């Protein structure tokens, strides 16, 4: 039987009971596969890698080595949450690398979106490989592969979490959630006790805020983007839109306009709000945001975020616009 094909008889995991049963089966299966060897996992803080980490901690405890690379392009509070949940609450064997300077130095003056993505992806592999090379006796690599990944790649999956492995590292894959759909992964994550903010986290591109800080990334504009994005997320949480909108974020382009603040000329960047709904990410519709919510978000961003003096709303569906701005 092909291990990468979901059996027709497999029940959709929709309840805690079904999730607990799945977890118990996987714990047994992982222990049988791994024995007393060590397993390495790139823990991004995304839904899939977080659920795999929690599941493996339950199965093999400290035999799992989680590596979290902070590339400096995470949303506000995300790396801190990984350290809090995995390092402290779950007492994971967690290696945290703050590679912010390394990434931002490489990205200096790079404005072309594809080039930015390649630099971020390539450097991530380098940092991860350097850490992996320092570790002894790692025989297995865990990945947060889920069923749609397998369907999209005809059963051959590139190492989407790690990006690639060093030539001389022969590691067997551990992919405990590879037959699950995204909604099932979330149910399993909740059953494992992960916080809702992690389990229901929005899709977030690998290059992170790097593709939302449009043009060449500067530290001041990146900081403004991170703060404005946090305000948007906070206000969506408060008004109940967070659960209804598939993806919402701020993008900040590389141009300034003149405004007035405290009776003085004030040059700043615009913050662009984008909120879309989609079922398959192939097409996307624009979510309607009530005007009172927009006014509140605008007032907060322009008052609280240094360097931003306008708030714009992107009303472009996909097609013609992509979901991300870059």
Sign of CA dihedral 68, 74, 78, 80: positive
Angle, vertex CA 170, rays to CA 169 and CA 173, nearest 5: 115
Segment (H or E) for 187: helix 182-191
What is the pLDDT at residue 154? 54
CA distance 125 to 107: 16
Angle, vertex CA 80, rays to CA 211 and CA 132, nearest 5: 80
Q: Residues of CATH 3.30.300.10 domain(s) within the chain?
A: 212-313
93-136: pLDDT as tens digits: 999 999 999 999 999 999 999 999 999 999 999 999 999 899 98
Instruction: Give the architecture-level CATH label for domain 16-199.
Output: 3-Layer(aba) Sandwich (3.40)
CA 169 to chain centroid, in Å, comes to 26
Annotation: CATH topology of 212-313: GMP Synthetase; Chain A, domain 3 (3.30.300)
What tokens does 68 get? 């979290």
- Residue identified by tokens 């990410």 is 281
Regions in the chain scoring below 70 on pLDDT? 1, 154-169
307-320: pLDDT as tens digits: 999 999 999 999 99
What is the pLDDT at residue 157? 37
Of 90, 73, 288, 71, nearest to 189 by C-alpha is: 90
β-pair partners for 140? 39, 172
What tokens does 202 get? 């929005």
Q: Residues of CATH 3.40.50.620 domain(s) within the chain?
A: 16-199
Of 103, 99, 90, 98, nearest to 62 by C-alpha is: 90
Q: Is the pTM of this model over 0.95?
A: no
What is the pLDDT at residue 169? 56
Q: What string of DSSP letters covers 248-282?
A: EEEEB-S--EEEEETTEEEEEEEEEEEEEE-SSSS
């Amino acid at each position: 039987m092909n291990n990468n094909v979901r059996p027709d008889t497999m029940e959709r995991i929709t309840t805690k009971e079904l999730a607990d049963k799945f977890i118990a089966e996987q714990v047994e299966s992982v222990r049988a596969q791994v024995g007393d060897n060590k397993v390495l996992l790139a823990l991004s803080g995304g839904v899939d890698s977080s659920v795999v980490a929690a599941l493996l901690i339950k199965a093999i405890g400290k035999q799992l080595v989680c590596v979290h690379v902070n590339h400096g392009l995470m949303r506000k509070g995300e790396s801190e949450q990984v350290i809090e949940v995995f390092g402290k609450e779950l007492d994971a064997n967690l290696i945290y690398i703050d590679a912010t300077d390394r990434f931002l130095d490489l990205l200096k003056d790079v404005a072309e979106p594809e080039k930015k993505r390649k630099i971020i992806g390539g450097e991530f592999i380098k940092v991860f490989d350097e850490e992996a090379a320092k570790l002894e006796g790692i025989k297995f690599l865990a990945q947060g592969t889920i069923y749609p990944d397998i369907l999209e790649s005809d059963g051959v999956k590139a190492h989407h979490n790690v990006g690639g492995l060093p030539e001389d590292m022969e590691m067997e894959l551990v992919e405990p959630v590879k037959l699950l759909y995204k909604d099932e992964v979330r149910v399993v994550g909740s059953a494992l006790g992960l916080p809702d903010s992690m389990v229901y986290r929005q899709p977030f591109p690998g290059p992170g805020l790097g593709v939302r800080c449009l043009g060449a990334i500067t530290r001041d504009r990146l900081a403004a983007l991170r703060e404005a994005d946090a305000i948007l997320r906070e206000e969506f949480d408060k008004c109940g839109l967070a659960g209804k909108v598939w993806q919402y974020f701020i993008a900040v382009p590389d141009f300034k306009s003149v405004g007035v603040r405290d009776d003085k000329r004030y040059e700043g960047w615009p913050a662009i709000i984008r909120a879309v709904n989609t079922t398959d990410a192939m097409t996307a519709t624009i979510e309607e945001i009530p005007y009172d919510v927009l006014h509140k978000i605008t007032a907060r961003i322009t008052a609280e975020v240094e360097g931003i003096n306008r708030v714009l709303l992107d009303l472009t569906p996909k097609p013609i616009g992509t979901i991300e701005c870059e």
